[in-house]
């Protein structure tokens, strides 16, 4: 069966999505789960936590993440002890479908979990945010692929990258793909890889076991070092057809997984959620920075000043107020972006208008910008000692600097396209 015929088949048979949850509905009372599995069996009954429960679990990990942040950066991956804690807290179950044993939660809970983790370690928040997201992407695949990846539990870990797309060649039974893919966040903890490959005019996503590809240790960066976002290389790697999927079909509301799962988020377009990790990580980092800055100025004595502590200086009070206000501004923009996307998920169809797309992307960019400016202001008022590698503030600054180069936060192209959407001029970048 060709990709085009698969696409027509799924579009024609697309079932109506379930009633969408409203804003904040993840905060419902904890329930007991006993739903049909993706393979027609029954998931084991288990307690599904509320959204507040999941956020509290993430917050409960923050102290440990702070203790291991320096180790995370040195290892250039998440430490084993942190992975054990994340698994015990079932963080990777957040967006996994209920039918396979996951929690099937919504955008608001997911984004808040990433934000809370970033208050401890931006690299961990970044990696975990993407690994959670990729479980949700796997839930959008056809049954045969899902049977394989969810066979060992509700949260298979997969890296995903399409930068740049590889090349696919049609061969008997599937495709042979070749390429070198960059920025494979989460790859150091994954068993699967989701790789983009171009086949003529069709962009495929190819699901491959990580053991079948070559992992290149190239992640030597100034910030987000602990993400271990290394490169992946493959040469004429065979991928069976059932583990390939048209990217457009994967990203659509009526994706193959929407016929298997009742979880509302599976019945939404893929694009908006993919932009959430970087802004949430930047905001959580800035919130951690303002906390550290307050602790510092309450005890620090500044040379060539008469005050016993920095906090007694009017100039320091102004600086703190400015940084605090920037973090508050970042929070407001971030909440507005989450509100806009969550509101679209609460209706059928959930596709956003151009104006809504422009508005939420603008809010995310402005949130990131305010977060980064708050961190810059804090660093310039914190003295030379904070630039020691043992001080978390210098790590926060480097991490946020790298985050600001992500496509979700890069100012000029985001503002240009957002302006076009808000003015009703249409986007010149279709994927925006």
pLDDT of residue 35: 42
pLDDT of residue 67: 98
CA distance linking residue 8 with residue 427, whole number of Å: 26
Per residue in 68-126, pLDDT (tens digit) is 999 999 999 999 999 999 999 999 999 999 999 999 999 999 999 999 999 999 999 99
User: How does the average pLDDT of the chain come out, rounded?
Assistant: 91
Q: Is 205 left (phi over 0), alpha (psi -120 to 50) or beta?
A: beta
Q: Could you give the 3-state DSSP secondary structure of residue 16?
A: coil
Does residue 2 surpass a pLDDT of 80? no
Buried-state track 189-210, b at ≥16 Cβ within 10 A, e below 16: bbebbbbbbbbeebbbbbbbeb
CA distance linking residue 376 with residue 379, whole number of Å: 5
Contacts of 332 (CB under 8 A, 6+ apart): 367
Q: Burial of 44 by CB count in 10 Å (0-12 exposed, 13-18 middle, 19+ buried)?
A: exposed
Q: Please give the domain boundaries of the chain with CATH numbers for all domains.
A: 19-36+46-149 (1.10.540.10), 158-247 (2.40.110.10), 275-423 (1.20.140.10)
Mean pLDDT to the nearest integer, 49-57: 97
Does residue 44 surpass a pLDDT of 70? no
The answer to whether 153 and 102 are in contact (CB under 8 A) is no
């Amino acid at each position: 069966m060709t990709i085009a015929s698969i696409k027509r088949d799924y579009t024609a048979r697309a079932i109506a999505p379930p009633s969408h949850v409203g804003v904040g509905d993840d905060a419902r009372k904890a329930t007991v789960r006993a739903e049909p599995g993706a393979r027609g069996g029954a998931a084991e009954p288990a307690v599904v936590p509320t959204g507040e429960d999941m956020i509290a679990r993430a917050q409960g990990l923050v102290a440990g993440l702070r203790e291991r942040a320096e180790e995370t950066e040195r290892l250039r991956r998440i430490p084993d002890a942190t992975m054990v804690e994340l698994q015990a807290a079932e963080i990777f179950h957040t967006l996994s479908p209920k039918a396979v044993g996951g929690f099937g939660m919504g955008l608001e809970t997911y984004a808040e979990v990433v934000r809370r983790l970033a208050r401890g370690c931006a690299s961990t928040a970044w990696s975990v945010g993407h690994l959670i997201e990729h479980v949700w992407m796997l839930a959008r695949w056809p049954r045969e692929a899902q049977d394989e990846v969810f066979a060992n539990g509700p949260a298979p870990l997969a890296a995903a990258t399409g930068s740049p797309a590889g090349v696919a060649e049609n061969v008997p039974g599937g495709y042979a793909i070749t390429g070198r893919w960059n920025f494979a966040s989460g790859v150091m903890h994954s068993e699967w890889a989701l790789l983009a490959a171009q086949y003529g005019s069709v962009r495929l996503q190819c699901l491959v076991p990580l053991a079948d590809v070559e992992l290149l240790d190239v992640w030597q960066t100034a910030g987000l070092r602990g993400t271990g976002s290394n490169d992946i290389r493959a040469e004429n790697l065979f991928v069976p057809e059932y583990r390939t999927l048209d990217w457009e079909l994967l990203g659509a509301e009526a994706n193959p997984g929407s016929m298997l799962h009742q979880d509302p988020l599976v019945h939404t377009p893929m694009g908006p959620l993919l932009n959430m990790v970087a802004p949430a990580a930047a905001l959580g980092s800035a919130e951690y920075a303002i906390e550290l800055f307050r602790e510092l100025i309450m005890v620090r004595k500044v040379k060539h000043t008469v005050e016993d502590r920095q906090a007694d200086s009017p100039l320091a009070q102004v600086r703190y107020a400015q940084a605090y206000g920037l973090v508050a501004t970042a929070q407001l923009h971030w909440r507005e972006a989450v509100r806009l996307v969550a509101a679209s998920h609460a209706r059928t169809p959930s596709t956003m208008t151009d104006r809504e797309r422009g508005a939420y992307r603008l809010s995310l960019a402005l949130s990131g910008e305010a977060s980064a400016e708050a961190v810059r202001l804090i660093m310039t008022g914190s003295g030379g000692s904070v630039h020691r590698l043992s001080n978390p503030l210098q790590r926060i600054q480097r991490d946020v600097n790298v985050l600001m180069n992500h496509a979700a936060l890069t100012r000029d192209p985001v503002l240009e396209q957002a302006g076009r959407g808000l003015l009703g001029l249409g986007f010149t970048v279709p994927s925006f």
